[in-house]
Amino acid sequence: MTARILVAGIGNIFLGDDGFGSEVIRNAEIPRDDPRVRVTDYGISGMHLAYDLLEGWDTLVLVDAVPNRGNPGTLHVFQADHEPDSAATGFDAHSMDPAAVFASLRALGGTPPYTVVVGCEAGSVEEGIGLTEPVAEAVPRAARAVEEIVAALHAHPGASTEGTAEPCV
């Protein structure tokens, strides 16, 4: 059986590097006519993503900016932890914190699917449109990573893609 995969770009394009997920989704070469794969730019609409997750996807590939740990542009690929977070409860239609999205999904009666995160350390999330240079340079590598994850999941449903982290120089 072939996996159903939802690829979700998230973030706010008006806050600099927070728009990373949207930019990667625009650049990833994933067939848009494959009924087993949906590629969507959710922007800041966490509730929209939570409702879409109720459709029974096998895998979620979440593309987002992650907090800067000292190396803007560093790409991280890892499996998301779905442990309930007591601080992330209730409905917030404009929250795109993944923990809040998964809490909303649970509140709606759903269960988070296997989730792979493709994240890039942000350099700046100040007001403004456009990515900083190190994050912009990471976009093609992140797009390839998303393409490879989707291909691997189709070839081997249930395959693990966690544990990689590499600088995007």
SS3 state of residue 125: coil
Among 130, 138, 125, CA closest to 167: 138
- Please list the pLDDT of the chain residue by residue as tens digits (169 residues): 568 999 999 999 999 999 999 999 999 999 888 889 999 999 998 899 999 999 999 999 999 999 888 899 999 999 987 776 544 444 444 346 788 889 999 999 999 999 999 999 999 999 999 999 999 999 999 999 999 999 998 887 655 544 444 444 3
**Phi, psi (deg, nearest 5) at residue 89:** -130, 165
| Its pTM surpasses 0.75 | yes
Count of CB atoms within 10 A of residue 71's CB? 14
Q: Which of 124, 141, 153 minimizes the C-alpha distance to 4?
A: 153
Token pair belonging to 155: 């070839």
For the domain made up of 5-155, the CATH class stated in words is alpha beta
Give domain limits for the chain.
5-155
